[in-house]
Structures are given as structure tokens and as C-alpha cells.
């Protein structure tokens, strides 16, 4: 891993944790930093020769979460979650964003159930999504290539 990749990874993780903390505390995501992150992460990937992967990651992240916002009429998630997923997609690219979303729902869903069972959250309360997507994105950075390879072997 070269210095540019290390700095980019540090910036990505810092961004993820800052927005996760904000979402946990305020139950909303500020749109402006996410717009900037999408552009910067995409430009980084263009510089690294991964523009198509980044673009597909943006579409997958925004499309998957956007479909849920649209289907639920904003009851399940908010528009900020769409932009947050687009920004993770810009950095992770494809199939990294697919792995991140998969892990987000597996691990995050389990944690959400525990929060409900323990009474920390009650039925009908809004559980912030960004911390779960952050967890999925970090796990995707760590093990995404192995997980996507495992899926590819099973599907072929």
C-alpha cells in the first residue's frame, strides 16, 4: 500500500466515523460534506484508473438505498442515507459497495435487533443507519475482496 492509498484510507475512515457519530447524535446527516466526499472519492478513483468501478459503486449505493426511501416514502430511511451510500460507493467502487451493503444489513440488522430486544430502542424509534453502513464499509475494506471472491465462486 502506497502513501496516497494510506492517506485516502485515513480520510475515508475519518469521514465515515465523523458522519456516523453525527447521525447517532442528531439522527440526520448533513448533505454538503457528502456531496464533497462523492466528488473527491470519485476523483481519487479516476486518478487510480478505477473510474468505472467508482461510478458503479455510486449507482449501487444510491440506487439500493434510494429504492428503500422511495418504497417506504421516507419512513425507513432518509435522503441523507442515499448520499452517504453514494459516497461509500464512490470510495469502495464495485463490488466493494455491494459487499458493504450486504455486511451492513447482516451485521447492522443483528445489532438493531439487539438494540430493540434490550430496550435501548423502542419499536417505532428511528435507528441511525450511517453507523451500520460505516461498519459495513470498514469490513468491506478489510475483507471485501475475499468476500466478493467467495460470492463469485458460489454463483459460477
DSSP-derived secondary structure for the chain: --HHHHHHHHHHHHHHHHHHHHHHHHSS--HHHHHHHHHHHHHHHHHTT-HHHHHHHHHHHHHHHHHHHHHHTTSS--HHHHHHHHHHHHHHHHHHHHHHHHHHHHHHHHHHHHHHHTTSS-TTPPPPSHHHHHHHHHHHHHHHHHHHHHHHHHH-
Is the CB of residue 144 less than 8 Å from the CB of residue 99? Answer: yes
Task: Return the pLDDT at 29.
Answer: 94
**Domain span including residue 125:** 3-155
Task: Return the pLDDT at 33.
Answer: 96
Question: Over the chain, what is the mean pLDDT?
Answer: 93
Q: Which residues of the chain have pLDDT under 50?
A: none
Looking at the structure of the chain, the number of domains it has is 1
Task: Return the pLDDT at 155.
Answer: 85
Task: Return the pLDDT at 127.
Answer: 82
Task: Return the pLDDT at 86.
Answer: 98
Amino acid at each position: 500500500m502506497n502513501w496516497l492509498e494510506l492517506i485516502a484510507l485515513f480520510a475515508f475512515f475519518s469521514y465515515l466515523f465523523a458522519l456516523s457519530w453525527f447521525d447517532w447524535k442528531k439522527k440526520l446527516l448533513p448533505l454538503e460534506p457528502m456531496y464533497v466526499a462523492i466528488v473527491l472519492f470519485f476523483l481519487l478513483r479516476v486518478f487510480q484508473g478505477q473510474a468505472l468501478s467508482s461510478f458503479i459503486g455510486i449507482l449501487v449505493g444510491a440506487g439500493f438505498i434510494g429504492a428503500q426511501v422511495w418504497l417506504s416514502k421516507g419512513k425507513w430511511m432518509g435522503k441523507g442515507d442515499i448520499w452517504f451510500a453514494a459516497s461509500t460507493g464512490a470510495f469502495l467502487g464495485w463490488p466493494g459497495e455491494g459487499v458493504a451493503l450486504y455486511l451492513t444489513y447482516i451485521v447492522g440488522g443483528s445489532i438493531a435487533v439487539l438494540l430493540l430486544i434490550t430496550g435501548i430502542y423502542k419499536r417505532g424509534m428511528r435507528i441511525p443507519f450511517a453507523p451500520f453502513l460505516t461498519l459495513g464499509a470498514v469490513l468491506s475494506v478489510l475483507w471485501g475482496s475475499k468476500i466478493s471472491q467467495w460470492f463469485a465462486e458460489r454463483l459460477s
